[in-house]
Structure 1
Amino acid sequence: MIESDDQTGFIPSSDGRIARGEITREKVLDAAERCFAMTGFDAVTVRQIAREAKVTLGVVGFHGGNKETLFLTVLKRRVETLNTLRLERLEELKAQSEPTIESLMSAYVTPYLEIASRGDPQWRAYAMLVARIVSDDRYYLEMAPLYDPVARVYLAELAKLRPDADPQLLATSLTLTVSAMISIVASQARIAGLSDTAAPDLPLAYKDVLIDFCTGGILRALEPK
């Protein structure tokens, strides 16, 4: 009889060990993602993550490391998909026509709204987690290598449209765009409360107004003073 290792979820067979280990690792990362999204990094404990994943503390440590490492791993495993979608949208846009500020904003924000609107609760948790941390400079050193390279690609496209624009103004405009995009995901209940209407179920429903808002703001900011 082949016995499993209770601490890692591995069984001493190469194929089975790898498959079982990957399943357990994803289970731990999914649980960490949900916990971080729900209460933020500071409030979460490794014990809470273990409880959410229904594994031991040793399993969390084996597959995720300490809380800081686990947090960064949770971000890294999703960002590649988001970055790829943004770059693909940009390439499609450039192949079809000359980009405009409006079309660039659409290419940048739409993938995130689509991800946040997926039926997959883990992608929804990721979107909520990003909404929690994006405005906190404490996380910038960890997040910059993940998100900034693609942001710089879009900034370069904006600079082509407005070559005389102050680079800091363009960076500020894109940062405010991100803040508005994040707010749509995080503030649906407030929108419903302030408007006394039922909020749409999916953030993607706000796509047009978000793009109009961000495009208008950038155009106004770039006007000569």
Structure 2
Amino acid sequence: MAKQAEKPSSDGRVARGEMTRAKVLDAAERCFAATGFDAVSIRQIAAESGVTLGVVGFHGGSKEELFLTVLSRRAEALNKLRREALKALRETEDYTLDDLVDAYITPYLTIASRGDPQWRAYAQLIARLVSDDRYFPEVRELYDPVAREFLDAMIDLKPNADRQVLATVLTLTVSSMLSIVASSIRVEALAGKPAPTTPLEYRKVLLDFCSGGLARAIE
């Protein structure tokens, strides 16, 4: 009976630990997104998350380790959805390049449209990273395996296509997707009217733009 009485307390500590870890990761994500990796200190992350420096270190490790953990938790969620979408297409045995592009960008647009500000912070962070090659060696294995699977599927459809051209267009597709999720203020300013309220509302125009570029590039 005594052991049973201890379990809720133990479970409670685990739950509190998980909540604190999530708070630290969320705070780190916001800080990295706002000013970039170099400008952020562990002290800032601790202040943002409302915990001590020791707690940040316990849950995140070094700043570099914390940075990779912030990225990997989002990459895991995206990779799962993209692989599921790709699997569903392959099972139909009747899909197009447009379908592959859609399967790659729509999971991200969908998640980013759920209203979670942390995913917006992630988009802003990734938008920073794609223009800085310093981070590529550390983060490529978070994203490249799934990207290669999509490139393989494209080659299956277009065996004579240049893989480098396909990789270039996919990279440009990702940049367009990240940019529109991170901020639509430029679109709104140029259009002279309110921009769509969610990234998912850009799905059609983004798909048309990226798919059209892909089709033209491999003509």
**Same fold per superposition (TM over 0.5):** yes
Aligned residue in 1 for 2:30: 34
Task: Determine if contact 1:131/1:186 at 8 Å carries over to the other structure.
Answer: yes
Partners of 1:152 and 1:114 in 2: CA distance: 22
Partners of 1:129 and 1:139 in 2: CA distance: 12
Task: Determine if contact 2:121/2:182 at 8 Å carries over to the other structure.
Answer: no
Mapping of 1:59-98 within 5 angstroms? 59-98=55-94
Task: Determine if contact 2:46/2:52 at 8 Å carries over to the other structure.
Answer: yes
Partners of 2:76 and 2:122 in 1: CA distance: 13
Give how far 1:32 is off: 0.5
Structure 1 portions without partners, runs of 5+: 1-12
Partners of 2:66 and 2:128 in 1: CA distance: 16
Task: Determine if contact 2:120/2:182 at 8 Å carries over to the other structure.
Answer: no
Mapping of 1:1-225 within 5 angstroms? 14-223=10-219
Of residues 95-104 and 153-162 in structure 1, the stretch that sits farther from structure 2 once superposed is: 95-104
Question: Residue by residue, what CA displacement relative to the aligned partner does 1:163-208 show, whole Å, maximum 9, x if unpaired?
Answer: 1112211111111111111121134000111111111121111100
Give how far 1:44 is off: 1.3
Task: Determine if contact 1:29/1:64 at 8 Å carries over to the other structure.
Answer: yes
The number of residues matched between the two structures is 211
Give how far 1:157 is off: 0.6
The one-letter code of the counterpart of 2:71 is: L
Aligned residue in 1 for 2:6: none
Partners of 1:187 and 1:25 in 2: CA distance: 27
Moved beyond 4 Å, runs of 4+: none
Structure 2 portions without partners, runs of 5+: 1-8
Query: What's the Cα RMSD here?
Result: 1.4
Task: Determine if contact 1:118/1:124 at 8 Å carries over to the other structure.
Answer: no
Give how far 1:47 is off: 0.9
Give how far 1:97 is off: 4.9
Give the TM-score of the pair, scaled to structure 1.
0.89
Task: Determine if contact 2:27/2:49 at 8 Å carries over to the other structure.
Answer: yes
The one-letter code of the counterpart of 2:102 is: S
Higher relative contact order (CA 8 A, sep 6+): 2
The one-letter code of the counterpart of 1:47 is: R
Give how far 1:62 is off: 1.3
